[in-house]
Structure 1
Amino acid sequence: MKINVETTVTAPIAEVWHAYTTPADIMQWNAASDDWHTTAASVDLREGGEFSSRMEARDGSFGFDFAGTYTKIVPHQLIEYAFGDRTAQVAFTDSPEGVNVSVTFDAETTHSVEQQRDGWQAILNNFKRHVEAEV
């Protein structure tokens, strides 16, 4: 099953792309709630390149690495990647309202579809706030 989340960011496409693909920016926006944060991020933005984000609870009680391999990159338009046995696609579409960022990913079986959608949407909402605060 595929799950989709999206937002429209009021900023130029180059800035939206940069914030989505730069480790220093990723560490600022990549969390679903205020009690989590990303403590490290790496990006090798090319097909076959790897990425990783270390996500941790702020109280130190839990953490995990979200990592994978880029399978397709079309600058300022598309990022596709595999993580474990799952895949995701991030599409960037310029519009008069801003840049629509649409993330479609394979669901997993541990959490409900609603929990997964809500978590990924919360991260995408943080991304939007981060980029728009920088403009």
Structure 2
Amino acid sequence: MSQLTVQATITAPVATVWECWTKPEHVTKWNFASPDWHCPKSTCVLEVNGEFHHIMAAKDGSFEFDFWGRFTQIEIEKQLQIELGDSRKVTVLFEAKTDQTTLITEHFEPENQNPLDLQEAGWQAILNNFKQYVETQL
């Protein structure tokens, strides 16, 4: 299966980026693609075979879903290998470029309901929210 890739360079140390990516109290503040959505609840068991659940919801209450998966491999502050609830694979790479700059790269298998460019744009929008959130936390 083909993969899509999104990236962002974040002005923050890799330890900070890792924490904001993996801790539910941070995830709820950045994990949405547009201002009319939010992530009201997040849980994460950061261990191999541990699951994360991120409730993605329209702010107007019209729709919500559980975006979830399990960790198949974890290298602290380096990478996460994930199998999503629908069996798609995701790799998240954390690369310290300098002491204060981290490159985050997500490779993900697309689903087959939406056009590839729409999926890539959605994942990139969430990653851009993440970047903005992390950089404003420092």
Q: TM-score range by the shorter chain?
A: over 0.9
State the TM-score, normalizing by the size of structure 2. Answer: 0.96
State the TM-score, normalizing by the size of structure 1. Answer: 0.98
Q: Whole-Å Cα distance in 1 between the matches of residues 136 and 44 of structure 2?
A: 23
In structure 1, the residue matched to 2:94 is 92
Q: Whole-Å Cα distance in 2 between the matches of residues 69 and 11 of structure 1?
A: 26
1:109 CA displacement = 0.7
**Taking every aligned residue pair, what percent have the same amino acid on both sides?**
38
Q: Summarize deviations over 1:32-87 as a string: whole Å, max 9, x none.
A: 00000001000000111010000000001111000111000000000011012201
In structure 1, the residue matched to 2:108 is 105
Count of aligned positions: 135
Q: Which runs of 5+ in 2 are unaligned?
A: none
Q: Which runs of 5+ in 1 are unaligned?
A: none
In structure 2, the residue matched to 1:66 is 67
* 4+ runs deviating over 3 angstroms: none
In structure 1, the residue matched to 2:42 is 41
In structure 2, the residue matched to 1:19 is 20
- Secondary structure of 2:111 counterpart: coil
Aligned CA-pair RMSD? 0.8
Q: Summarize deviations over 1:87-133 as a string: whole Å, max 9, x none.
A: 10000001137100000000111000000000000000000000000
Between stretches 64-73 and 91-100, larger displacement belongs to 91-100
- Counterpart code for 2:93: A
